[in-house]
Every structure is written in structure tokens, then in C-alpha cells.
Amino acid sequence: MQLWADLVDDQSYTFDKVLPYYKRTVHFTPPNQKTRFANSSPEYAQDAFSRDGGPLQVAYPNYAMSFSSWMTRGMHSIGINLTRDFNSGSLFGAQYCSSTIDGFDQKRSSSEAAFLSSNPFHLWKLTIYKDTMAKKILFDSNRRAIGVQVQSAALVYSLMATREVIVSAGAFQTPQLLMVSGIGPADTLGKYGIELISSLPGVGQNMWDHVFFGPTYRVALETFTRLPADPSFLTRELFRYLFTHTGILTNPITEFLAFEKFPKSARLGFSPNTEKELSQFPNDWPEIEYISAAAFVGNFSEPFRQQPKDGHQYAGIVACPVAPTSRGNVTIISNDTRDLPIINPNWLATETDQQVAIASYKRVRAAFHSKEMAPIIIGDEYDPGTQYATDAQILDVIRNSVMTIFHASCTCKMGIRNDTMAVVDSRARVFGVDGLRVVDVSAFPILVPGHPQSSVYMLAEKIADDIIHS
């Protein structure tokens, strides 16, 4: 978080300063070891959470995949050891991860479930317009945001603001809404006849994202592959989940993570430019994340239907570069938000990202081929297969199977006023206008190397404080 603070010239974003906002949202439930395997006890830092907590439920699943304990050994074989947890500010090492699930019923704790459904008595302060699309932000002659034009079915009308307009439409729709409202690159707005309110060339640019990919092996233990292949097993597990809140369906699949900076032995294929670009990230910023995937990985087009139904079990470890140097962008194709924006993710476009991806793929293979994981591996690599061995072949495999983790961000990035690509200041206020803020993942100046969900909640809590006290 120090890099975030430095980029926006606001030391209130250092980790110690934002930690209370991370804690404020969350209610933590320790793992239930009675329902998990004996060797699947997560290490966690109780002091990373507040005793009071908030409405968002964070817990561990009531079922641990046996594959994760073997991944622990595989990670150790390539030099990644167990760490305490990933909630205390350090990401290096391997450990079970907590998830936004209710510790009792194991249901997903979404923002809707946590902040709306679970607090019905608070809703008298809030009016929600369902199935309503924001068309554009309205401004007065002084370039102050005064409301939003919206559409419900065929009805177009305006919702007027008494103080501020806050945009939280995400990495794709937030820049789209700003552009159709007159905030963004002047050339783009002029192309579609949109009146220029504030010329901000950074709107829709600087898109960061995390992607993942990895091989699959046939294994001698139970994985998620069995669910679509065995209807009786699926039925039994469904009943376990519904009536006892236990079993494989409580598990989010990606329950075990590992982070590292590549050791010297894995950097032999890196060019001087790759080393230079990676050196620009802070020392505490991992370069790669490894995620358990106790199922057939494939190309993610249809994860459930793609699972082999040959009676065997499959598992993979996916690699996720978390220090990406490629940047994507989002732009509009008209002046109407009903027309979806054009998204150019631009994944793995740089030499650095390509070399990191290849190195991480080799690291995953090394873990699977280690003597530590040998007892559960059946045969050679199942997918894509050991015939894909050269760097060029591995890169082709990655390009044909890469998938986003849906961490797209930074398309309306936070920054200082003299940064021509910045869209909002450190208080999330849009440059060039008054009464308008952006509070979502698009406002991030950088995509933090861990999963960004908790940082989205942190930013919302922090800006809410700013609004209340300003």
C-alpha cells in the first residue's frame, strides 16, 4: 500500500492507515476443524480482524480438498514454504485462504447479502431502482454534477442529487458512463458528438488485470471432477450442503494459494528488460501467485461441462502473474450506455508478461513432477501434455487457454492533478468537475497483488468516512 500512497501523494493510504477500513467491513469466523481433514488446518492471524467486525462474512469452507495438502508439498518442493496467513499484509508463502462465505451456512456473502438483505431495517435510508440503467450524469452550468439521467424499460427520467453523485459501476461501465457524460478523451467524445465537460485522457485507459492458466494431471484422490460425472455423488453432496452445511459443495475450489518472487533458477530465461520492468515493483510485491484447482483446468470456456467423464479424477495448479506490465483499455462505440463498451484486455502483450507466464508454467510443472507429489500423480501430464515443451509451445498453450480472474481495474485511476492520466484525486473526486466521485475498482491507481475484493471494500469505507467528515 506504500506504493499506492506515494502515487496519489496521500500517506493516509499506507497499510497501517487503511487497515482499520479493511477490518471495519468484515466479520470473521474461525475454521471449523470438526468438518475438515486433520491435516488441513489453516493458519490465520486473529488480530487481522476486528472483534466488532462488520456485516461481510469471512470464513473458511467446512470442507478441505485433499489435493490442497498435496499442493502444500509441491510448493515446498520448489521452495515455497507455509506462511501464517494472507490477511496481515504479507503475501509471500503458501497457505489456505479465507473466503467471503458465511461461517455457519457456507453461503456466499456478497455485498448485496451483507449490506442489504441482512440489514432490512437500514433500508429506509436507501431507495433502490431495480432494472434501471444510468444513461448519463447531469451537470449544471458550473460543471457540478446535479443528477443522473436513467432509463427503466422505455421510461427515461432524471434522479437529482442534493449533494454528490457517486459512480460505482466497475472497471468497464464506470469509464463508459463518464465518457457518455462528457468526461474523458476529447477525441473520443468528439467522435460521437458528446459535449466535453472535462478533458481527461486517462478515462478508460491503464487497465490492469490478473489472468490465470495451468496444466492438468490425473490424480489418485477425489476432486471436483466427480461431481458432473457421478449424479448420485452430486445428489448426495447437494443434500449434505443444504442440510448439514458440509461436504465438497462448501468448498470454493480455489482454497489454497501460494505467492513468490521467482528464484534465480527460474529467471534464467528473463531478458534484461524483463528484469528491469519487474524491479520497478516493490520488494514486498510478489511476481506470481499459484492457486489450487482440484478439477480439470482446460481453457475455462465451460468449466463444468468440460470435466472429463471417464471415471478418473483430475487436478491442476494455475499460475497467475500478479506483477503484470501489459495494460488494456475500455472505450465507447456510441453516446448511449445501452451499447456495450469495447474492452481490450491486452493480456500478455509485453515480453515481460510472456516470460513470466512461461516461467510460472514451468514452476507448476516442476511441482507436479516432484517426488513430494508423485504418490498421487497417475501417468504423464494429461493436458496439454508433455509434447508442449519449448518456450514457444508453452506460450501458445497459455495464449489459447488464458482466462481472467475478473480483477480488471484502474480504468479511472487515482492520482495527482498533474498526472495527465489520472481521473480522480485521493478522495475519489473526479478532476475538472465538482460533486462527482468514483468509488470502485476503476479508481485504483494500481492493482494490488493480492485479490482486490477486500481493497474495494476498504476504499468504500475510507471514502465514506471522507464524505461524512468533509
CATH number of the domain enclosing 260: 3.30.560.10
- Range with the lowest mean pLDDT among 307-316, 427-436, 454-463? 307-316
**Residue 108 CB neighbours (<10 A):** 12
Whether residue 317 is contained in a domain is answered as yes
**Statement: residue 84 has pLDDT above 90:** no
CA distances from 170 to 353, 367, 404, 409 (A): 25, 36, 15, 8
Of 260, 312, 332, which Cα lies nearest the Cα of 291? 260
One-letter amino acid for residue 19 of the chain = L
Its sign, for the CA torsion 97, 99, 101, 103, is positive
C-alpha 237/C-alpha 252 separation (Å) is 14
Q: pLDDT by residue (tens digit) across 167-226? A: 999 999 999 999 999 999 999 999 999 999 999 999 999 999 999 999 999 999 999 999
Over the chain, what is the mean pLDDT? 95
Q: Are strands 26-28 and 56-58 parallel, antiparallel or unpaired?
A: parallel
Whether residue 104 is contained in a domain is answered as no
pLDDT of residue 86: 87
pLDDT of residue 283: 96
**Statement: residue 300 has pLDDT above 80:** no
Whether residue 149 is contained in a domain is answered as no
Q: pLDDT by residue (tens digit) across 333-389? A: 999 999 999 999 999 999 999 999 999 999 999 999 999 999 999 999 999 999 999
C-alpha 297/C-alpha 113 separation (Å) is 30
List, by residue number, the catalytic residues. Answer: 407, 451
Whether residue 355 is contained in a domain is answered as yes
Whether residue 245 is contained in a domain is answered as yes
C-alpha 263/C-alpha 271 separation (Å) is 15
Residue 453 labeled ligand binder:
yes
C-alpha 468/C-alpha 409 separation (Å) is 26
Whether residue 15 is contained in a domain is answered as no
pLDDT of residue 30: 92
* pLDDT class of 153 with cuts at 50, 70, 90: very high
pLDDT of residue 301: 73
pLDDT of residue 85: 84
C-alpha 387/C-alpha 393 separation (Å) is 9
pLDDT of residue 53: 83
pLDDT of residue 45: 84
Q: Which domain holds residue 351?
A: 32-51+61-97+208-404
Name the 3-class secondary structure at 409. Answer: strand
Q: Which residues pair with 26 in a beta bridge?
A: 56
**Residue 303 CB neighbours (<10 A):** 17
One-letter amino acid for residue 180 of the chain = V
Whether residue 20 is contained in a domain is answered as no
Q: pLDDT by residue (tens digit) across 117-135? A: 877 776 777 899 999 999 9
pLDDT of residue 81: 96
pLDDT of residue 309: 85
pLDDT of residue 408: 98
- Range with the lowest mean pLDDT among 117-126, 279-288, 327-336? 117-126
pLDDT of residue 119: 73
**Statement: residue 64 has pLDDT above 80:** yes
C-alpha 341/C-alpha 329 separation (Å) is 10
Rg of the chain taking only CA atoms, in angstroms? 23
**Statement: residue 51 has pLDDT above 90:** no
Please give the tally of structural domains in the chain: 1
Whether residue 40 is contained in a domain is answered as yes
